[in-house]
């Protein structure tokens, strides 16, 4: 009898354990079926900033295009070879797959996971602002893109929407987000690694980005730009470097500055300063030059000519501040906002001060951000060659050149502003493989698999070529 009961007990335990195991067989603890929407926002923010900050030649070569850096040995990207490394495809995937997809999923999950209506509204507003931001870079890089059908997982052949129509919708969305923000309520908390719970900061960022979007279309629609810009300014834009939208990288992997990963951790010696930027800064006696670059072999500052093989040991290199693992990635900063306001004032928009005052504020903000002093900034901008009243050229030339210098290490934004303002007047790289890119060609995958919609998009913008002017780049 004893053996009989023992057998029953053992059998019951085994059956019980088998039943318990069966219920979890289809559960993968490493790939949960449900995640917090806020965690997807964290991942999207990280992906977005890493894409903008990267110096990987497979992804982000804008520092080379705008002649801030020059390659040492492998020169294809300095000469505008976009296709060998499939760079347009990588940019497309980084923004659509790694950023917009996560934000779209977060937008679906948050309404069911957050009970406080004000907090929910704030979280959804932040998610949408980030989506608008990501779409801005896709539009200004490619032109017409998938938008209304872009996030439909069941549609592998999305149509391309007209870029100007998308842009108008993005501006409407941004206005709705600004109106939805409650600055006295919480946001995403620690899941937001840009501003955290500071919804007042997000509102200021949204208005500042609205200012940027308004100025982007100033050449093709001055009246509309004026309305957008003046409303953004009245709503409250950045007023100091404390407002800067930054992703604070950490000193240890895996959340380190991608430039550190690309150059220091990997032991690469791929880049030196570009002579175009270094020579301009030397001409202006710019106090930021030792903050941007190391000294060269003669203890001075020099750079390689765009498109030429440039010895790593001979020329200045990106400064160690930039290549530190914890150096932050920047989404938008006060200096850029003030340059936008300077241009707006020069165009006759009402933005609270003169073009010269905003121009001075922008230069001061940049010098201080990079570690210079107010005294250095003042001496710099009062030189006849830099002073707004005496510097050469139109407001586009004065602002364009200074903005290009201030947007150092933000090559993507420098590329957008160079195309829009047409200054500085960069010359094509040595042995360039094409004209200087005014846009990226569409990804090869789109050409091969979404062919019908690709062909329609290419025709609509005037041809899938790097020298096709996009709709907002009128001159």
* CATH at residue 86: 1.25.40.390
Domain stops at, among 408, 423, 440: 408
How confident is the model over 32-44, as a mean pLDDT? 88
Q: pLDDT-based confidence at 29, cuts 50/70/90?
A: low
Note whether residue 382 is domain-resident: yes
Boundary of a domain, candidates 306, 327, 348: 327
Number of folded domains in the chain?
A: 3
Residues 219 and 355 in one domain: no
End-to-end alpha-carbon separation of the chain, Å? 97
- Looking at the structure, tell me whether residues 177 and 209 fall in a common domain: yes
Tell me, yes or no, whether 155 and 63 share the same domain. yes
pLDDT tens-digit map of 312-354: 999 999 999 999 999 999 999 999 999 999 999 999 999 999 9
Q: Worst-scoring range by mean pLDDT, 25-34, 219-228, 369-378, 435-444?
A: 25-34
* pLDDT given at position 30: 53
Tell me: do 106 and 167 sit in the same domain.
Answer: yes
| 0.75 exceeded by pTM | yes
Residues 138 and 44 in one domain: yes
Whether 200 is covered by a domain: the verdict is yes
Q: What is the percentage of the chain residues whose pLDDT exceeds 90?
A: 91
The residue out of 277, 301, 327 marking a domain boundary is 327
Q: Which residues pair with 246 in a beta bridge?
A: 330
Domain that residue 176 falls in? 37-71+78-239+431-461
Residue 471 lies in a domain: no
Average pLDDT, the chain: 94
Residue 219 and residue 87 in one domain: yes
Banded model confidence at residue 2, pLDDT cuts 50, 70, 90:
very low
* In a shared domain, residues 184 and 136: yes
| Structural domain includes residue 23 | no
Residues 163 and 136 in one domain: yes
Q: Are residues 163 and 274 in the same domain?
A: no
- Looking at the structure, tell me whether residues 232 and 315 fall in a common domain: no
Would you place residue 3 in the very low, low, confident or very high pLDDT band (cuts 50, 70, 90)?
very low
Confidence class for position 1, pLDDT limits 50, 70, 90: very low
- 413 within some domain: no
Task: Tell me whether residue 452 is exposed, middle or buried, using C-beta atoms within 10 angstroms of its C-beta: 0 to 12, 13 to 18, 19 or more.
Answer: exposed
Task: State residue 212 phi and psi, 5-degree precision.
Answer: -60, -45
Q: Is there a single domain that holds both residue 317 and residue 287? A: yes
- 63 within a domain of the structure (yes/no): yes
Examine the domain organization and report whether 301 and 398 are in the same domain. no
pLDDT in the model for residue 475: 75
């Amino acid at each position: 009898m004893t053996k009989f009961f023992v057998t029953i007990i053992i059998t019951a335990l085994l059956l019980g354990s088998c039943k318990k195991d069966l219920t979890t067989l289809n559960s993968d603890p490493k790939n949960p079926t449900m995640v917090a929407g806020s965690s997807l926002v964290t991942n999207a923010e990280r992906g977005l900033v890493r894409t903008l900050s990267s110096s990987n030649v497979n992804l982000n070569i804008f520092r080379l295009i705008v002649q801030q850096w020059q390659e040492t040995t492998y020169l294809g990207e300095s000469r505008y070879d976009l296709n060998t490394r499939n760079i347009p495809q990588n940019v497309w995937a980084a923004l659509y797959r790694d950023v917009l997809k996560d934000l779209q999923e977060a937008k679906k999950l948050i309404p069911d996971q957050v009970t406080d209506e004000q907090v929910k509204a704030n979280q959804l507003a932040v998610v949408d602002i980030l989506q608008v931001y990501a779409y801005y870079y896709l539009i200004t890089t490619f032109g017409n893109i998938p938008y209304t059908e872009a996030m439909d997982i069941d549609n592998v052949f999305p149509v391309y929407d007209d870029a100007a129509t998308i842009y108008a919708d993005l501006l409407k969305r941004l206005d709705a987000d600004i109106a939805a923000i409650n600055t006295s309520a919480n946001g995403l908390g620690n899941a937001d690694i840009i501003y955290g719970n500071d919804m007042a900061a997000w509102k200021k960022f949204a208005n500042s980005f609205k200012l940027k979007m308004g100025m982007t279309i100033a050449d093709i629609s001055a009246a509309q730009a004026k309305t957008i810009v003046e409303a953004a300014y009245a709503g409250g834009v950045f007023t100091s470097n404390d407002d800067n939208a930054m992703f604070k990288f950490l000193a240890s992997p895996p959340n380190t500055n991608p430039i550190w990963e690309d150059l220091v951790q990997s032991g690469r010696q791929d880049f030196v300063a570009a002579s175009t930027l270094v020579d301009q800064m030397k001409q202006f006696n710019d106090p930021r030059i030792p903050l941007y670059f190391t000294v060269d072999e003669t203890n001075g500052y020099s750079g390689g000519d765009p498109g030429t093989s440039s010895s790593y040991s001979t020329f200045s290199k990106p400064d160690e501040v930039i290549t530190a693992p914890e150096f932050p990635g920047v989404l938008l900063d006060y200096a850029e906002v003030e340059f936008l306001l300077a241009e707006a004032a020069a165009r006759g928009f009402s933005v609270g001060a003169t073009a010269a005052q905003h121009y001075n504020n922008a230069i001061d903000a940049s010098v201080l951000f990079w570690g210079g002093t107010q005294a250095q900034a003042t001496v710099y901008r009062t030189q006849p060659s830099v002073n707004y009243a005496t510097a050469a050229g139109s407001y586009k030339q004065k602002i364009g050149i200074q903005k290009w210098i201030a947007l150092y290490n933000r090559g993507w934004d420098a590329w957008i502003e160079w195309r829009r303002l047409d200054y500085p007047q960069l010359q094509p790289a040595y042995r360039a493989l094409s004209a200087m890119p005014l846009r990226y060609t569409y990804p090869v995958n789109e050409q091969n698999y979404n062919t019908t919609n690709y062909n329609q998009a290419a025709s609509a913008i005037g041809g899938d070529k790097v020298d096709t002017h996009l709709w907002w780049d009128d001159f």
